[in-house]
Amino acid sequence: MNKREIGRSGVSVAPLALGGNVFGWTADETASFAVLDAFVDEGFDLIDTADCYSYWIPGHKGGESETMIGRWLKKSGKRGKVTLATKVGIEFGGRGGLGREHIVRSVDESLRRLGVDRIDLYQAHRDDPKTPLEETLTAFCELIRAGKVRALGASNYEAPRLAAALAASSALGVPRFDCLQPCYNLCERSGYETALEPLCRREDVGVLPYYGLASGFLTGKYRTPADLAGRARGGHVQKYMNARGFKILAALDEAAAELGAKPASVALAWLIARPGITAPIASATSVAQLADLAAGARLHLPAATIAALDRASA
């Protein structure tokens, strides 16, 4: 499978990333281990998580996803086959932000939960305007020099702040953010395409879009309010259930029928075909779901199909 570079970092990955937010949340240990094994066996490598997953669940403290992945790594012995990405900065447990003290403490906690001695891609989970960029970037540089982190990324940064961070890295002579995680999918395009996309392409910043399937809406399994009953992400999906959203689903259904594929596979293939995209992030709670994601990474969309999806989601 062809690999794609994460910016200028020298880290190359297959064109699909596995979202780890579900591990220890909607996927128990048995399901999590099965999905992780299948993901690697399919030839993929980038597993993305965060230190805060899944603190929002009653009884959880955060770190559940990293801990689950760490247990799987120990049991499977597959550390050498994966590229590990995690994030820091979301406030939970009374701490957060991108100050030096929190970053330095948090990376050690993540390393311990993951059971590894180095994180391949360490990302600022969201912008922290209260902390000077110079402090954040210098702290990240310390981690790279200490061998605890291989490359850096940012998540949820707006274009002006990402540009400022890149400029600050250059001025300081420290490693830069080599990738960005924006929210980007067929339902949510303008936030990325308007300003972030041209910036990332110009600066050679890799792009790992999250919510690639719009919280599951683009799989086609949510078509009526009744479909949302009892679903963990029902609140996220409801905002897509409008005339535009159903127009996108209709276009996905048509493309899927023509190509003999699933709507989820087509939606991911559309993202992968977009210039500048390194690897979309998608989650799976079962091996069957993962099969649809893997199929999307291998699906070639004809130009006419891409154009039809572009029109439907414009």
Q: Enter the pTM of the model.
A: 0.96
Chain centroid to CA 86: 10
Give the CATH number, domain containing residue 208.
3.20.20.100
Residue 90 has pLDDT above 70, yes or no: yes
Domain annotation covers residue 112: yes
* Per-residue pLDDT reduced to its tens digit, 39-82: 999 999 999 999 999 999 999 999 999 999 999 999 999 999 99
* Cα dihedral across residues 34, 41, 184, 164: positive or negative: positive
Domain annotation covers residue 188: yes
Residue 218 has pLDDT above 80, yes or no: yes
Q: What pLDDT does 62 receive?
A: 97
The per-residue DSSP string of 242-263 comes to SHHHHHHHHHHHHHHHHHT--H
* Cα dihedral: 4, 14, 51, 292 (round 10): 140
- Look at 130 and 235; give whichever has higher pLDDT: 130
Degrees, nearest 5: CA angle 20-272-48: 15
Query: Residue 314's closest CA among 247, 242, 218?
Result: 247
Domain annotation covers residue 244: no
CA dist 160 → 71, 107, 140, 169 (Å) = 39, 27, 20, 14
Domain annotation covers residue 259: no
Domain annotation covers residue 162: yes
Q: What average pLDDT score do residues 92-111 get?
A: 97
Q: What pLDDT does 234 receive?
A: 62
Which residues are known to be catalytic?
Answer: 53
Q: CA 250, CA 126: separation in Å to the nearest integer?
A: 34
Q: What pLDDT does 192 receive?
A: 98
DSSP summary character for residue 219:
G
Domain annotation covers residue 89: yes
At 121 the three-state DSSP class reads strand
* Per-residue pLDDT reduced to its tens digit, 268-297: 999 999 999 999 999 999 999 999 999 999
The helix (run of H) or strand (run of E) holding residue 167 is: helix 159-172
Q: What pLDDT does 232 receive?
A: 63
The tally of domains found in the chain comes to 1
Domain annotation covers residue 249: no
Domain annotation covers residue 181: yes
Q: Which two tokens stand for residue 263?
A: 């709507």
Q: CA 262, CA 132: separation in Å to the nearest integer?
A: 45
**Containing structural domain, residue 158:** 4-217+264-300
* Per-residue pLDDT reduced to its tens digit, 161-190: 999 999 999 999 999 999 999 999 999 999
